[in-house]
């Protein structure tokens, strides 16, 4: 496996399992320098075959936003942040969180994912994207809704929207949304 600077890794060092981040890759000798997450943090040289890459959990963008904001505000208070009862309507509104967080955290499997993301880091899963054809078009040319701030119709390439944006801005015509396959932006 090839590593790059910044990769999170696990390694056994002095009979203990440690996590750390790759700080340098030494191509010539097939070694990497890892800053071990221990106190005090130290840089240590390992052969690449002695190290395993940490697989990060994937979370929706709205979960990543909650972790980023609450971890910054409360430090390491995972126990409070994982409790779905915290996310009252007033709390969600005050912090401008997506309302879906409360429902998402009600499931035990999502609580585990949240905890792993909080402690180990995460990747943001790409939401499916949709285009919005203009409904009832009788023209031989396809027109699409292309802006959120002002509705404009444009022929050709269509702007892509998340489902959340479609429900918010186009609630009356959600049935016309067309999922764009294989596209991540």
Per-residue pLDDT of the chain (185 residues; tens, 9 = 90+): 688 898 888 888 888 888 888 999 988 888 999 998 777 888 888 888 888 887 889 999 889 999 998 887 766 688 888 888 888 999 888 888 888 898 899 999 999 999 999 988 888 988 888 777 766 555 555 556 655 544 455 555 677 878 888 888 778 878 888 888 765 54
85's tokens: 């009862």
Q: In this structure, which CATH number among 3.40.50, 1.10.3470, 3.30.70, 2.30.30 belongs to the domain 8-53?
A: 2.30.30
Domain definitions of the chain by residue range: 8-53, 57-124, 129-180
Task: Give the span between the Cα atoms of 184 and 26, in whole angstroms.
Answer: 33
Q: For residues 66 and 74, is the Cβ–Cβ distance under 8 A?
A: no
Task: Give the span between the Cα atoms of 20 and 90, in whole angstroms.
Answer: 38
What are the two backbone dihedrals, phi and then psi, of residue 50, each rounded to the nearest 5 degrees? -90, -5
Q: For residues 104 and 64, is the Cβ–Cβ distance under 8 A?
A: no
């Amino acid at each position: 496996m090839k590593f790059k600077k910044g990769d999170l890794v696990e390694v056994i060092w002095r009979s203990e399992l440690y996590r750390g981040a790759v700080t340098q890759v030494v191509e010539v000798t097939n070694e990497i320098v890892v800053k071990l997450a221990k106190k005090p943090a130290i840089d240590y040289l390992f052969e690449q075959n002695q190290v395993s890459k940490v697989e990060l959990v994937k979370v929706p963008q709205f979960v990543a936003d909650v972790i980023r904001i609450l971890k910054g505000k409360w430090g390491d208070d995972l126990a409070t942040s994982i409790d779905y009862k915290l996310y009252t309507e007033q709390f969600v509104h005050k912090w401008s969180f997506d309302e879906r967080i409360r429902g998402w955290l009600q499931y035990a499997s999502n609580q585990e994912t949240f905890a792993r993301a909080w402690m180990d880091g995460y990747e943001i899963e790409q939401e499916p994207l949709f285009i919005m054809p203009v409904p009832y078009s009788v023209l031989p040319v396809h027109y699409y809704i292309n802006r959120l701030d002002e509705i404009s119709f444009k022929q050709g390439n269509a702007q892509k929207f998340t489902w959340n944006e479609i429900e918010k801005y186009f609630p009356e015509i959600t049935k016309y949304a067309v999922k764009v396959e294989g596209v991540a932006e």
